[in-house]
Amino acid sequence: FVDFPGGKLSFVGEMNFLPESQRERINCYRVLDDDGGTIYSSRFQEVSKELALKMYSNMVTLQIMDTIFYEAQRQGRISFYLTSNGEEAINIASAAALSAQDIVLPQYREPGVLLWRGFTLQEFANQLFGNKLDYGKGRQMPIHYGSNRLNYFTVSSPIATQLPQAVGAAYSLKMDKKKACAITYFGDGGTSEGDFHAALNFAAVTEAPVIFFCRNNGWAISTPTAEQFRSMNCASAQSYKGILARALYKTQLLLQVMELLPAVRPTEYAVSG
Ligand SMILES: Cc1ncc(C[n+]2csc(CCOP(=O)(O)OP(=O)(O)O)c2C)c(N)n1
Ligand SMILES: [Mg+2]
């Protein structure tokens, strides 16, 4: 062995190029089969009827809100809007799995997380129209919501800038010995930004309690994922030591995120002194 910076290495006498580390695609975890039946090897747990109804009603509200504001944008009443069409479950299920103390650093396609936390339709409208009640005082483009009260950082326009910021927020939670985590959302497009890799390495070395929630919808405007990355999928984040990666199936997210949470959220901290 040789004591090399970063760890011990053994010697070899052959000069070979090494094969790619991640040869196979990460499989997609699911808890329900194609017919809606429970997959018994999974960690399926029934949610209460009350919670299920609240989630369903939030998903419908999100769709209706999108329809109204998207049409308002098409009519020229507001300058910009983005819908969460087809990603309602990603929004609401992940929000339901978190606790209110967990800090959210969003992209722009997760207003449902804010809705779940209690941001009112009037508050959404205030931001979109940039009126005097808008928390950003009309200085941001529409859809750049944010709420101090709800632990929801203001949406960042430049793709992936929220990722290293989320690690910083998570690291501060760890230093303050808080029993909470940070979550950051981003698209498949964000994975080819330098900030994505910087954030993963930052999280790995600080062991910060952070969830990187990649919404892989196959496209970054007109760029398909095939032109976005050459790794097998966005979950290749696991090549950063200490980062656990898993591909999830969108309609079954609540349980899957709940399963992930104990891995990131610290349970008990020893109190010193
Ligand atoms: C640094 C940077 N580059 C380019 C853009 C322009 N832009 C806005 S959205 C977007 C696509 C992002 O795609 P993805 O992250 O997959 O999210 P999706 O819209 O699919 O949810 C791009 C390239 C930007 N906002 N910031
Ligand atoms: Mg995308």
Q: Is 34 exposed, middle or buried (0-12, 13-18, 19+ CB in 10 A)?
A: exposed
220-233 pLDDT, tens digit each? 999 998 888 877 66
Other Cβ atoms less than 10 A from the Cβ of 136: the count is: 15
Diameter of the chain measured on Cα atoms: 71
74: which residues sit within 8 A by CB, 6+ positions away? Answer: none
Give the domain extent around 92.
46-264
**CA 264 distance to own-chain centroid:** 13
| Residue 28 falls inside a structural domain | no
| Residue 148 falls inside a structural domain | yes
Nearest CA to ligand 1 atom 13: 220
Question: Highest mean pLDDT: which of 33-47, 62-76, 229-243?
Answer: 62-76
Q: Is 219 near ligand 1, meaning CB less than 6 Å away?
A: yes
Question: How many domains is the chain partitioned into structurally?
Answer: 1
| Residue 242 falls inside a structural domain | yes
Dig out the tokens for 28 from the structure.
């997609």
| Residue 37 falls inside a structural domain | no
Q: Is 188 near ligand 1, meaning CB less than 6 Å away?
A: yes
pLDDT of residue 165: 98
108-144 pLDDT, tens digit each? 999 999 999 999 999 999 999 999 999 999 999 999 9
The CATH number of the domain holding residue 182 is 3.40.50.970
| Residue 241 falls inside a structural domain | yes
Question: What is the C-alpha R_g of the chain?
Answer: 20
**Gap from CA of 97 to ligand 2 centroid (Å):** 23
| Residue 256 falls inside a structural domain | yes
Q: Is 57 near ligand 1, meaning CB less than 6 Å away?
A: no
| Residue 1 falls inside a structural domain | no
| Residue 26 falls inside a structural domain | no
- What is the dihedral angle through the alpha carbons of 217, 248, 81, 164, rounded to the nearest 10 degrees? -100
Q: Is 217 near ligand 1, meaning CB less than 6 Å away?
A: yes
